[in-house]
Amino acid sequence: MAGIKALISLSFGGAIGLMFLMLGCALPVYDKYWPLFLLFFYILSPIPYCISRRVVDDTDSASNACKELAIFLTTGIVISAFGLPIVFARAEVVIRSNLCSWRLC
């Protein structure tokens, strides 16, 4: 039962995150649709691991190179999803508030 609660809370958190992403792009105050490119990272992130699960035989308990590569690629995609908004803010594509200033960098 604990696994179901974790799955429900993760899906709820993902839905809230997507809602905030859509609201941040669709509100007329901001009028910028560049952050929607984050959806590509959300779609691409599980693909390497799903492919490796189909290719790899799980009878061996030792670490597998294909599975390790898939985890590495998934980690790179997730880190890129965090880095893209920083690049957008640095290039002044998205609007920054007075509280978040890049003059310190």
Q: Give residue-wise pLDDT tens across range 31-60.
A: 677 777 888 888 888 899 889 888 877 666
Q: At what angle do helices 47-55 and 65-90 cross, to 10 degrees?
A: 170
Distance of CA 97 to the CA centre of its chain: 23
State the Cα–Cα distance between residues 34 and 30, nearest whole angstrom: 11
Over its C-alpha atoms, the chain yields an Rg (Å, rounded) of 18
List the domain boundaries for the chain: 2-103
Residues 6+ apart with CB under 8 A from 78: 41, 45
Which residue type is seen at 14? G
State the Cα–Cα distance between residues 105 and 102, nearest whole angstrom: 6
Does residue 97 register a pLDDT over 70? no
Q: Is this model's pTM higher than 0.85 or not?
A: no
55 near 22, Cβ under 8 Å? no
55-90 residue pLDDT tens: 877 666 667 888 889 999 999 998 988 888 788 777
